[in-house]
Amino acid sequence: MASKPKPPIFLERRSYRKRRLMDAVRLLPVVGALLWMVPLIWPVVGEGDVPPQQLSNAAVYVFGVWVLLIVLSAFLWRAIKAPDAGVSSDEGQG
C-alpha cells in the first residue's frame, strides 16, 4: 500500500474546494471596500457632542484592514496554488 504513493481520489472535492476558494477571492475586494468605508460613519471634528475619532486609532484600523486583506489574499493564493495543502487541512471537517 505505502509503496506506491497514489494521488488521493478526491478530485471532485478538490475542485469543489478550489471553486469555493475562488469565490473567496472574488468576495475579498468587496469585503475590503466595505471595511474601508467604515471611517465614513466615524464622528468627526465639530459634529455633535461625540468626541472625534483619534487619528492613531483610525490609522490602526485602516492599516489593520490592510494587513487582513493582504494576509487573506496571500493565504488564498497559496491555497489555490497548492490545492493539496489547502484541501487536506480542510478535509477533516469537510
Partner 1 sequence: MASINLLIGVCVAYAVLLFIIAFAAERGAAQGRRAWLGSPVVYTLSLSIYCTAWTFYGAVGYAARSGMEFVTIYLGPSLVMIGWWWVLRKLVRIGRAQRATSVADLISSRYGKSNALAILVTVMAVIGVTPYIALQLQSVTTSLAIFADPSEATDGGMNQTQAAFWIAFGLAIFTVLFGTRNLNTNERHDGVVMAIAVEAVVKLFALVAVGVFVVWGIAGGPTQMMAQIDASSIGAWSLDGSRWLALTALSGAAFLCLPRMFQVLVVENDDERHLQVAAWAFPLYLMLMSLFVVPIAVVGLDLLPAGSNPDFFVLSVPLSQGQDGLAMLSFLGGFSSATSMVIVATLALSTMVSNHVVMPIYLSVKDTGGASVSGDVRNVVILSRRVSILVIIALGYLYYRMSGGSGALAAIGLISFVGVAQFLPAMLGGIFWRASTRVGAACGLFVGFVVWSFTSLLPSFGEGAVLSQSVFDSGVFGINLLRPLALFGIEGIDSTVHAFIWSLSLNILAFVVGSLVSFPTPLERLQGAQFVNVFAHTGHAKGWSATAAASEDLMIMAQRILGPDEAQALFRAQALSQGSDGYLPDPTPEFLEHLERELAGSVGAATAHAMVGQLVGGATVSVQDLMAVADESAQLLEYSTQLEAKSAELTRTAGQLRDANNMLTQLSVQKDAFLSQISHELRTPMTSIRSFSEILRDAEGLTEPEQTKYASIIHQESIRLTRLLDDLLDLSVLENGQVSLNVSSGPLNDVIEHAVLTAQAGFNAALPVIRRYPDRAVPMSTDLDRLSQVFINLITNAQKYCQSDAPELTIEVAQDETFALIMFRDNGVPIPATTRALIFEKFARINDQDGSGAGLGLAICREIMTRLGGDVTYVPASLGNCFLVRVPLNVPMPET
Residue 53 binds partner 1, judged by CB under 8 A:
yes
Residue 55 binds partner 1, judged by CB under 8 A:
yes
Rg (CA), the chain: 21
Tell me how far CA of residue 89 lies from CA of 13, 47, 54, 74, 93, in angstroms.
13, 49, 40, 17, 8
Residue 58 binds partner 1, judged by CB under 8 A:
yes
Question: Nearest distance from residue 89's CB to partner 1, in Å?
Answer: 19
- CB 28, CB 76: distance < 8 Å: yes
Which residues bind to partner 1, rule: CB under 8 A?
6-7, 11, 22, 25-26, 28-30, 32-33, 36-37, 39-40, 42-45, 52-56, 58-59, 62-63, 66-67, 69-71, 73-74, 77, 80-81
